[in-house]
């Protein structure tokens, strides 16, 4: 971190050393989480590097003329504040170096298919034998007994998300536009690792924490899963609507072209909405008076709302709804959302040639600061010279983003 020493010393994880043996999104998200809270995070990469280094959209331009220093937007999603070291774990030398590092680590984050870590001598049993305090988080697609590789889009399909995300019954299933299952698994892994670290404070011993994409997806079905378990009836897709609250989530277009959504969760909010729309009689109509009635008469109410909102200025309506404490919001693009003044605190300032980044830590506390700055996502193998000459890295900002060096194998 590039904050002053007084600030760095007050961050919660300044004493932790993290080895990241994970790639793509879920595991690296957890690595950046620890980096943002002060931990030293060393990303161990194969000689070809994390595959997301190459995942570039057609709109992206290279940050550098040298391919080694080029960082994709996808890679930068989850790799701020880290250092990168290349190890070929198919070799005895690479495995030996990993064992030296693991002996000094607090946490390892891995995302191997079941059985692969053992082949590379990078599994929990092997590394914990030399470091009993080691906390080892292992991400898999389908659990420790299923060698099937896990991919977010496939899990979204298999766990019911794509089915529910269709525009309506009989419409084509749709994937979420971000890797939601990976992100949900990252949160599960954070919780598991923090639980293990808390337990280590009491027992002195580390632990193995196992998280699968499938389990993370299933537990996140939440009310949709509960509906099936309680009723035996499969929830049906409603587009952006809500199965048990109306009006909630449906997109309406106003006269000025503004698209907006309502999230009316109570009868009182509905009365305020009706008043703001100049239709107070709707609130006393037996079809709409209660949420239960509104769910039963969903189509009729949404038709009335669509017609009424289409005749008014959307920005004026949103301002009035805010004054009336009716939950509502404009539909914004990603760029519009990130340019909001309220989003500024979630952005990491640009470092060197790197563009600004996005934080993974959204919670705040008066008892510790927010890291003002992190090292930019590192070039592949940038920490090689430091690792070659030291048992462990110093503060992560001294190597992150440095020039690429030959890999250690």
Catalytic residue numbers read 182
Parallel, antiparallel or unpaired: strands 107-110 and 347-348 = unpaired
Q: Are 257 and 317 in contact (CB under 8 A)?
A: no
């Amino acid at each position: 971190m590039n904050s002053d020493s007084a600030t760095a010393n007050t961050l919660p994880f300044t004493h932790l050393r993290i080895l990241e043996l994970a790639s793509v999104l879920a595991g690296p998200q957890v690595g950046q989480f620890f980096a943002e809270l002060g931990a030293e995070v060393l990303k161990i990469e194969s000689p070809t590097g994390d595959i997301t280094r190459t995942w570039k959209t057609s709109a992206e331009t290279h940050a550098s003329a040298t391919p080694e220093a080029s960082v994709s937007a996808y890679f930068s999603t989850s790799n701020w504040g880290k250092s990168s070291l290349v190890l070929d774990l198919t070799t005895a030398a690479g495995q030996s170096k990993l064992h030296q590092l693991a002996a000094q680590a607090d946490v390892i984050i891995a995302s191997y298919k079941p059985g692969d870590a053992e082949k590379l001598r990078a599994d929990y049993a092997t590394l914990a034998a030399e470091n009993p305090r080691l906390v080892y988080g292992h991400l898999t697609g389908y659990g420790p007994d299923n060698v099937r590789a896990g991919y977010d889009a496939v899990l979204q399909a298999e766990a019911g998300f794509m089915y529910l995300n269709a525009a309506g019954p009989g419409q084509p299933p749709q994937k979420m536009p971000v890797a939601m299952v990976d992100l949900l698994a990252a949160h599960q892994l954070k919780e598991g690792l923090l639980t293990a670290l808390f337990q280590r404070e009491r027992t002195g011993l580390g632990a193995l924490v196992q998280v699968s994409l499938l389990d993370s997806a299933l537990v996140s079905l939440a009310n949709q899963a509960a509906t099936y378990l309680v009723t035996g009836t499969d929830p049906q897709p409603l587009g952006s609507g809500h199965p048990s609250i109306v009006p909630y989530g449906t997109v309406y277009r106003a006269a000025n072209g503004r698209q907006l959504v309502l999230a009316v969760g109570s009868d009182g909010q509905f009365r305020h909405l009706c008043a703001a729309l100049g239709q107070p009689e709707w609130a006393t109509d037996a079809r709409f008076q209660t949420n239960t009635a509104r769910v039963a008469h969903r189509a009729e109410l949404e038709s009335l709302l669509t017609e009424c909102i289409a005749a008014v200025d959307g920005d004026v309506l949103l301002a009035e709804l805010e004054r009336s404490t009716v939950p509502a919001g404009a539909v914004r693009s990603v760029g519009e959302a990130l340019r909001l003044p309220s989003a500024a605190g979630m952005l990491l300032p640009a470092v060197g040639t790197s563009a600004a980044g996005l934080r993974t830590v959204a919670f705040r506390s008066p008892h510790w600061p927010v890291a003002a700055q992190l090292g930019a996502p590192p070039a592949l193998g940038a920490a090689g010279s430091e690792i070659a000459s030291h048992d462990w890295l110093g503060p992560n900002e001294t190597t992150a983003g440095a020039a690429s060096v030959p890999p250690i194998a």
